[in-house]
């Protein structure tokens, strides 16, 4: 039996039942993390503090301060908005250069399952 259930992301309708398709447990959390990462703070009018500010990093200089600030931003957002994560490690790596590829790896364990999970988010930053 599922402990948590939510709408799948992206939202789709089940053609057989006409209902919105759902996901359960760790898949629900994985998709919730993606929603948090892809939502810019102040984008949602009803809950303006929801999300991250990672889009504001897109035109910054990629240096150790950038990496540290991005890691803190993602960590704070996930700790605030995803209550099922009990062990969280966010790492940020980059290839440097004028158009840097930045990889955010989110390793976590949930209160639903002791199995380690990972979400990877890739973004290209134009210095």
Residue 24 CA to residue 15 CA, distance in Å, equals 19
pTM of the model: 0.85
Note the pLDDT of residue 86.
93
- Please give the domain boundaries of the chain with CATH numbers for all domains: 5-126 (3.10.450.40)
Give the DSSP H or E segment for 121: strand 117-126
3-class DSSP state of 118: strand
Burial of 95: CB neighbours in 10 Å, binned 0-12, 13-18, 19+: exposed
Mean pLDDT of 12-16: 89
Note the pLDDT of residue 97.
66
Give, in order, the Cα–Cα distances in Å from 21 to each of 24, 52, 62, 80: 10, 26, 39, 26
Note the pLDDT of residue 1.
55
Can you count the helices (H) and strands (E) in the chain? 2, 5
The DSSP annotation for 42-82 comes to T-SSSSTT-SB-GGGGTTS--SHHHHHHHHHHHHHHHHHH-
Q: Single out the residue of 37, 24, 22 nearest to residue 113, CA to CA.
A: 24
Note the pLDDT of residue 126.
80
């Amino acid at each position: 039996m599922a402990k948590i259930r939510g709408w799948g992301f992206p939202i789709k309708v089940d053609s057989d039942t006409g209902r919105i398709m759902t996901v359960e447990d760790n898949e629900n959390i994985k998709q919730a993390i993606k929603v948090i990462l892809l939502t810019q703070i102040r984008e949602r009018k009803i809950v303006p503090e929801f999300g991250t500010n990672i889009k504001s990093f897109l035109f910054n200089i990629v240096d150790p301060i950038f990496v540290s600030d991005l890691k803190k931003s993602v960590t704070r957002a996930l700790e605030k908005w995803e209550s099922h994560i009990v062990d969280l490690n966010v790492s940020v790596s980059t290839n440097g250069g004028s158009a840097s590829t930045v990889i955010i790896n989110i390793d976590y364990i949930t209160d639903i399952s002791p199995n380690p999970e990972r979400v990877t988010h890739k973004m290209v930053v134009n210095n």
